């Protein structure tokens, strides 16, 4: 049966303070008229980017009973979207969840949340990296940042990512399984930053670039992927969805950067959420040369 509104199973942590993971995914997708069914992986007092001494409650043992209950109820999803996982074992649980709920016509999106700025997050380790390489095989779409690309490809040690190799990275990641690979925070020329993507089925490479602002707000990856999912579920094309994601994150950063507060608190999402209801007037995507 067609759902009255599109429905996403969102497999992420809930970080109380700091505007990351479910704290941004739920409002963004709800604003885009998508129902979010949360399968929480962990509950934290704050996200792990820039806070010390956070409280971390691992929910690994609670996940399978939730999946079982959903299965018993006969619930199905238009999208299964995973992100920050609380333990390497959760990769196997997410994999089972995908096996349970995957259909011909729904979308599996894996955001392989592991690190940023060249480093793994506090709670991540080599086992998580190895397992994540397995999980992306089952995804239709993956959305790693530049750092996660290097870990997924096993090239993190001693090699700086080079934007010149971006097409090669996209193709190699697509060969690992997913049909669409979207890489975020790619340095671009003229002090810009880009999102690049490869659509294996159509053999097309896309790029959307925007002005680079020297600020780093945790949680923007979660916001970006949520907008892309909301846009695709509304029927937009891939480059249009990328465009929406980039424009929204740019508006988040612009709304935040002018204020003097700690970046670890995340972007001031509440001030710009309504922008998601506006049509895109000028799209700026291009084919990647």
CB 35 within 8 Å of CB 9: no
245 binds ligand PXL per the rule CB under 6 A: no
CB of 180 to ligand PXL, least distance (A): 20
CB 135 within 8 Å of CB 85: no
- Neighbouring residues of 249: CB distance < 8 A, sequence distance ≥ 6: 210, 220, 223, 224, 227, 267
Span near ligand PXL by CB under 6 A; candidates 12-20, 87-95, 156-164, 224-232? 12-20
* Interatomic CA distance for residues 40 and 13, integer angstroms: 5
* Bridge partners, 8 (sequence order): 36, 79
94 binds ligand PXL per the rule CB under 6 A: no
* Bridge partners, 38 (sequence order): 10
27 binds ligand PXL per the rule CB under 6 A: no
82 binds ligand PXL per the rule CB under 6 A: no
49 binds ligand PXL per the rule CB under 6 A: yes
CB of 71 to ligand PXL, least distance (A): 26
Range 212-231, binding ligand PXL (CB under 6 A): 218-219, 221-222
* Interatomic CA distance for residues 74 and 4, integer angstroms: 16
- Neighbouring residues of 260: CB distance < 8 A, sequence distance ≥ 6: none
Judged by CB, which is closer to ligand PXL: 98, or 267? 267
CB of 9 to ligand PXL, least distance (A): 17
Judged by CB, which is closer to ligand PXL: 48, or 194? 48
Number of residues located near ligand PXL, criterion CB under 6 A: 15
44 binds ligand PXL per the rule CB under 6 A: yes
167-206 mask for ligand PXL (x: CB under 6 A)? ----------------------------------------
CB 163 within 8 Å of CB 177: no
Residue choice 7, 8, 15, 108 for contact with ligand PXL (CB under 6 A): 15
Judged by CB, which is closer to ligand PXL: 122, or 155? 122
Find, among 139, 67, 84, 149, the residue nearest to 110 by Cα.
139
Residue choice 35, 88, 95, 121 for contact with ligand PXL (CB under 6 A): 121
Burial 127-139 (b: 16+ CB within 10 A, else e): ebbebbbebbebb
Angle at 254 between CA 25 and CA 122, to 5 degrees: 50
Interaction site with ligand PXL (CB under 6 A): 13, 15, 20-21, 44, 47-49, 84, 113, 121, 218-219, 221-222
């Amino acid at each position: 049966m067609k759902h009255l509104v599109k429905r996403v199973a969102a497999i992420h942590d809930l970080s109380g303070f700091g505007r990351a993971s479910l704290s941004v995914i739920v409002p963004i997708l709800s604003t885009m008229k998508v129902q979010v069914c949360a399968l929480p992986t962990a509950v934290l007092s704050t996200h792990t980017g820039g806070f010390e001494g956070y409280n971390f409650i691992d929910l690994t043992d609670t996940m399978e009973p939730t999946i079982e209950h959903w299965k018993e109820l006969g619930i199905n999803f238009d999208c299964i979207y995973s992100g920050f996982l609380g333990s390497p074992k959760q990769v196997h649980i997410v994999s089972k969840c995908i096996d349970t709920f995957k259909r011909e016509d729904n979308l599996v999106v894996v955001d392989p949340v592991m690190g940023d700025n060249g480093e793994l997050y506090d709670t991540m380790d080599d086992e998580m990296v190895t397992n994540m390489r397995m999980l992306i095989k089952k995804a239709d779409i993956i959305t790693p940042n530049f750092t996660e690309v290097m870990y997924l490809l096993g090239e993190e040690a001693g090699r700086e990512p080079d934007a010149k190799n971006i097409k090669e990275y996209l193709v190699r990641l697509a060969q690992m399984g997913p049909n669409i690979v979207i890489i975020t925070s790619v340095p671009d020329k003229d002090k810009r930053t880009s999102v690049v993507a490869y659509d294996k089925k159509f053999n097309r490479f896309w790029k959307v670039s925007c002005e680079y602002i020297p600020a780093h707000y945790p949680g923007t990856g979660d916001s970006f992927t949520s907008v892309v999912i909301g846009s695709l579920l509304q029927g937009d094309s891939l480059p249009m969805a990328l465009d929406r994601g980039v424009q929204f994150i740019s508006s988040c950063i612009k709304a935040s950067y002018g204020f003097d507060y700690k970046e670890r608190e995340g972007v001031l999402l509440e001030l710009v959420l309504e922008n998601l209801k506006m049509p895109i007037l000028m799209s700026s995507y291009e084919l990647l040369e």
